[in-house]
Chain A
Amino acid sequence: MSMLVLENVHTHYGKIEALHGVSVEVNRGEIVSLIGANGAGKTTLLMTVCGTPQASSGRIILQGRDITHEPTAQIMRSGLAIVPEGRRIFSGLTVEENLHMGGFFNTKSEIRKSQAHVYELFPRLKERENQRAGTMSGGEQQMLAIGRALMSRPNMMILDEPSLGLAPLVIKQIFEIIGQLRDEGITVFLVEQNAHQALNLADRGYVLETGKIRLHDTGKNLLENPDVQNAYLGG
């Protein structure tokens, strides 16, 4: 059963085409990793799923519904959450307020429940509840970004380079949490530069090169693939 399907999706920035017909499928309960070099179009792909920019052709189907032409606001209220590239937390708001923004369309009791859950996953956030989010460390901010995305109780979570700029220990912790999310039944679509860990964790993986899918296979097979090893795993 598919959670998310992209069929031959093309995306343009003005006249420039950034995605040249991408097809990706993410099944329910899976972790799927997307790897690729800088500028390959990974962020573009994720943003196209979210509807900004909209695909210029092709189809995107989320939980059986065609969302290709839906506005972002509507898509993001349909059980999908994103941890955007560069975290993008609200730095002037407190940690708690950031979390509440994540649950904007939920009831108070739902917010309370998800907040407790997020604090369970990230006890660090609980300690910093009343701190202005912008004053936290990079790792803490990334935890907050993930926590905020969890607040809407999504069925599917998209993460764009959650390990960017973090220390190895924190990266390990973040990847553990991502594994935990799958165990809770959340489908994960993960974009990473950190190809080794991303493929290790993933059920399946895709390799994106200049706007096209070059390879797709199970995470394990991709790890062993000599081309992938050469290009993304440092030989």
Chain B
Amino acid sequence: MAANNLRHALFCAIVTLIISFPILGLNLEAKGINITLTGAKTSTYVAIVLAAVVVFVFQIFRDSFMGVLGKLPNLNPLAGREPMEQSKRVKLESWILTGIVIFALFWPFLVSRGSVDLATLVLIYIMLALGLNVVVGLAGLLDLGYVAFYAVGAYTFALLSQYTGISFWMALPIGALLAGLTGMILGFPVLRLRGDYLAIVTLGFGEIIRILLNNWTTLTGGPNGIGGIPDPTLFGMEFGRRVKEEGNTSFHETFGIAYASEHKIIFLYLIALVLAVITALIIRRFMRMPVGRAWEALREDEIAARSLGLSRTAVKLSAFTIGAFFAGFAGTVFASKQGFISPESFVFLESAIILAIVVLGGMGSQLGVILAAIAVTILPELAREFSEYRMLIFGAAMVLMMVWRPQGLLPMRRIHIKLNRQE
């Protein structure tokens, strides 16, 4: 047993050496047209050896370490109770959510401009993740091309504003509906596929949409993107220093206050907040409706669900369409926030991050998804110095999650529906 452990630890340490030596210890340098191989600083070699030692020690004590990790106090106060208390838990979750929203309302008046801007981004990710949560978490359809619908929403607004001068408020429903429609059209042929196959095909669709945007230069401007996307207005009041659109007034003049560039950012944040709350409420509503249970039933046992008369295509398509709809919602807000969009913003990594949020959040639980969205967007910003290691930290976090909370931060507690017996 102990000898076995020792051998294993030695092996791991050697692998660490083999992997890190060429990557960190050798540098390729371009000298003129030639490339030369040079060694690294001595400190790097020391670090490599130290890393191997750490790996060795960790592997030796791995069992006890993992044991400790497994016994970490459960930080989730709601975990591990049985369904009888479910109604209580749902109530608690609602209270926490309400608390977060109230706090979020005051947030922009307490912090700097940059923080508000970042918070807007968080809200956009929350909308995206809540939407994807319907598809992946509830309906169990692994969609790796979700960003495509986000792009449809954003480009709908960008293009319509460029060609017809449409306002944000008009574009919002149109963008969401178009994204939903795209979801329905794409979903129809692919939803008969299962699991891995569905994942691959949706991944392909996501890329196709991005490549289309990139290459259809006459319409979309290709890689140059589209700029000049208007900001949202408040009842015809603009937030810029000067009024751009005829017939509009300016916010600061109407209220007789000095112009401040923060107004616009705070306003956008508040819009995103309201839309995120609306998204959460609508999806919550769906979860309580029969269609929400149908998503889960189909995910749990497709044959059983079909034997009860549910149509596989209809149920899956509804989840796919609703998810896409909210991605379009988020896309419109994103376009307005940035003022400029290009296909760069809709790469696969984006889909992966949204999916990571859903998985980290616990597949299905709204509060979990919201917390995960906050964590995934904010942590890299807090650790700006480590930005090169962002993906590394991300990966480490994922591995830790798998060990510590394999079901996500807050595994989904299903909303329990009871018929009212009195009526």
Contact = CB atoms under 8 A, between A and B. Distances in A.
Given A90-B301, A93-B414, A73 B306 contact: yes
Interface in B294-326: 294, 296-297, 300-301, 303-312, 314
Given A104-B294, A112-B421, A90 B84 contact: no
Interface string B402-423: 0000000000001011110101
Given A97-B417, A104-B290, A104-B294, A88 B308 contact: no
Interface residues of B, number: 28
Contacts of A96: 418
Interface in B368-423: 414, 416-419, 421, 423
B83 interface: yes
Contacts of B293: 93, 97, 100-101
A141 to B, nearest CB: 12
A73 B303 CA distance: 11
A104 B309 contact: yes
Closest 9 CB pairs of A and B: A76-B309, A88-B304, A73-B311, A77-B309, A90-B300, A130-B83, A82-B307, A88-B301, A101-B297
A74 B297 CA distance: 18
Nearest to B311: A73
Contact of B308 (A76, A111, A112, A115): A76
B20 interface: no
Contacts of A105: 309
Contact of A93 (B300, B303, B419): B300
Contacts of B314: 73
A152 B304 contact: no
A190 B65 CA distance: 55
Interface string B86-110: 1000000000000000000000000
Given A73-B311, A100-B417, A92 B83 contact: no
A152 B309 contact: yes
A90 B307 contact: no
B421 to A, nearest CB: 7
Contact of B419 (A88, A92, A101, A112): A112
A52 interface: yes
A93 B297 contact: yes
A130 B84 CA distance: 6
A101 B308 CA distance: 8
Contacts of B310: 73, 104
Interface of B: 83-84, 86, 290, 293-294, 296-297, 300-301, 303-312, 314, 414, 416-419, 421, 423
A162 interface: no
Nearest to B421: A112
B308 A84 contact: no
A77 B308 CA distance: 7
A165 interface: no
B91 to A, nearest CB: 16
Nearest to B294: A104
B423 to A, nearest CB: 8
Contacts of A81: 307-308
14 contacts: A71-B311, A72-B306, A76-B306, A84-B303, A88-B303, A96-B418, A97-B293, A97-B417, A101-B297, A102-B308, A104-B294, A104-B309, A108-B419, A152-B309
B255 to A, nearest CB: 50
A50 interface: yes
Given A73-B309, A76-B307, A104-B290, A92 B416 contact: no
A26 B310 CA distance: 25
A105 B418 CA distance: 17
Contacts of A108: 419, 423
Contact of B416 (A82, A111, A130, A148): A130
A27 interface: no
Given A90-B301, A130-B83, A131-B83, A50 B307 contact: yes
Contacts of A115: 419
Nearest to A82: B307
A94 B308 CA distance: 17
Contacts of A90: 296-297, 300-301, 304-305
Contacts of A50: 307
Given A90-B297, A112-B419, A148 B308 contact: yes
